[in-house]
Homo-oligomer: A and B are copies of this chain.
Amino acid sequence: MAQDPGAGAKEAPARSGRALCRIGPFEPELGGHLPEVVLAYETWGEPNEARDNAVLIVHALTGDSHAAGEPDEEYRRGGWWHPLIGPGRPVDTERYFVVCSNVLGGCSGSTGPASRDPISGRPYGMRFPLVTIRDMVRAQKRLLEELGIERLELVAGGSIGGQQALEWAVEFPGFARRVIPVAATGALGPQGIGMSEIGRRAIMSDPDWQGGDYYGTGRSPERGLAIARMAGMMTYQSAQGQWERFGRRPATRPALYEEFGGRFEVESYLHYQGRDLVRRFDANSYLYLTRAMDLYDVAAGYRSEQEALSRMESELLFVGISSDWLFPAAEVRALAERARRAGARAHYVEIESPNGHDAFLKDWDAMEEVFRDFLE
């Protein structure tokens, strides 16, 4: 695992391979002030002499900086894009210097609502300012500067990571040579926003949420966060995929909750996913990150979407997933077309899959092919 190669790492890694970088004070675009922002990040491979071989990988909603790496005790399934990143893999770490950081507002080492506000000395909670996709990208840019990186060979990510990849192309037009936004558009639709809001209401309705000030109280909105995760999972899968995987079969896993009229496998799966997230994720971060996802509009701050898209200088590959419910393939394709009409070098490829939105974390053969074809 690479050690921090830049000047920015001023703290010891919190987890194996993870480094922390202070990027200084930060002004979120919608207001507020963060006196001190830390980003947790990991790297793989080495920068070349020209320092022009860097790749930025951007994680999805509940992901973290551990994009690559073989399965180990800490990460039983390895890095979340492990099949795509490594020696001889499409994002070849013998060729590229790969960086992945936990997003601003996250809870896996980077500054977020669970962090201590240096002014008050208490965790921010809901006093944390709203952060946007653009803020996340600007923070990543500061991290890269600290690492001495002045251009990127590639930015790639899926879902909210795909939104960030797109925003990289718009916000810093000359910085990345290539950009792959996977399963993301310039603006989430009302169905996605609605499902996000169901999750947020579940968290905020949980008395253990305590207005966001649950840190150190011995209670946290576990029930609400589990429900939010269940709602999220529904948007990550497709009807076909769920019929194939669960159908109407009875549950085979042990019950996590009191049964009511038996239990279907799909319910059991959702319960387990809910419980699992509670173990590893902060509920307030879930609120902030889903809100950033809803609020993202690539056209925000420009006179039109066309103006925003026409800024892009990178070569882009938009990747749609045929059965995606959250960011429907038709919307991704239409965005790629509008980008082309705005003058961008934008391509579109569609992954045929029954796995819904989640295909970008599952359909490795297809994903590898997409990455190889575009990078070669």
Could you tell me which A residues sit within 8 Å of B by CB distance?
30, 126, 130, 187-191, 193-195, 197-198, 200-202, 204-207, 223-224, 226-227, 230-231, 233-234, 237, 239, 242-243, 245-248, 257-258, 260-262, 264-267, 270-271, 274, 287, 291, 294-295, 297, 328
Q: Could you say which of A224, A230, A261 has the most chain B C-beta atoms within 10 Å of its C-beta?
A: A261
* A245 CB contacts on chain B under 8 angstroms: 190
B231, B239, B274, B294: the one contacting A191 at CB < 8 Å is B239
List residues of chain B with CB within 8 A of the CB of A234.
Answer: 191, 194-195, 198
Q: A297 vs B261: C-alpha distance in the bound complex, in angstroms? A: 14
Are A239 and B201 touching (Cβ within 8 A)?
Answer: no
Q: A216 to B261, alpha carbons, bound, how many Å?
A: 26
Selected from B239, B270, B271, B291, the residue in CB contact (under 8 A) with A260 is B291
Contact A202 B187 (CB under 8 A): no
16 more contacts with CB within 8 A, not counting A190-B243, A194-B242, A205-B223, are A190-B264, A191-B234, A191-B242, A191-B266, A193-B248, A197-B267, A198-B198, A198-B234, A200-B260, A201-B230, A202-B202, A202-B205, A227-B227, A248-B297, A261-B291, A262-B295
B contact residues around A233 at 8 Å (CB): 194
A297 surroundings in chain B (CB, below 8 A): 248
Question: B205 contacts A295, CB within 8 Å?
Answer: no
Q: Chain B nearest CB: distance from A162 CB in Å?
A: 18
With a CB–CB cut-off of 8 A, which chain B residues contact A266?
A: 190-191, 193-194, 197
Between A and B, 28 residue pairs with Cβ closer than 8 Å are A30-B261, A187-B248, A189-B243, A190-B245, A191-B242, A191-B266, A193-B248, A193-B264, A193-B267, A194-B230, A194-B234, A194-B266, A197-B270, A198-B230, A198-B231, A198-B234, A200-B260, A201-B223, A201-B227, A201-B257, A202-B205, A205-B223, A205-B226, A205-B227, A207-B207, A248-B297, A262-B295, A264-B294
Cα-based distance from A3 to B356 in the complex (angstroms): 53
The A interface, classified by DSSP as helix, strand, loop or mixed, is helix
A261 & B130 in contact (Cβ 8 Å cutoff): yes
Alpha-carbon distance A193/B190, docked complex (angstroms): 22
Give min CB distance, A264 to chain B, whole Å. 5
- Is the beta-carbon distance between B207 and A227 smaller than 8 angstroms? no
Give the nearest-CB partner of A265 in chain B: B190
Contact, CB under 8 Å: B224 / A205: yes
Whether A267 pairs with B194 at a CB distance below 8 angstroms is yes
Give the most central of A130, A187, A195: most B CB within 10 Å: A195
Which of chain B's residues has its CB closest to A131's CB?
A: B261
Residues of B within 8 A of A230 (CB): 194, 197-198, 201
Indicate whether A189 sits within 8 Å of B270 (C-beta atoms), given known contacts A130-B261, A205-B224, A231-B198.
no
CA distance A233 to B193 in the complex (A): 13
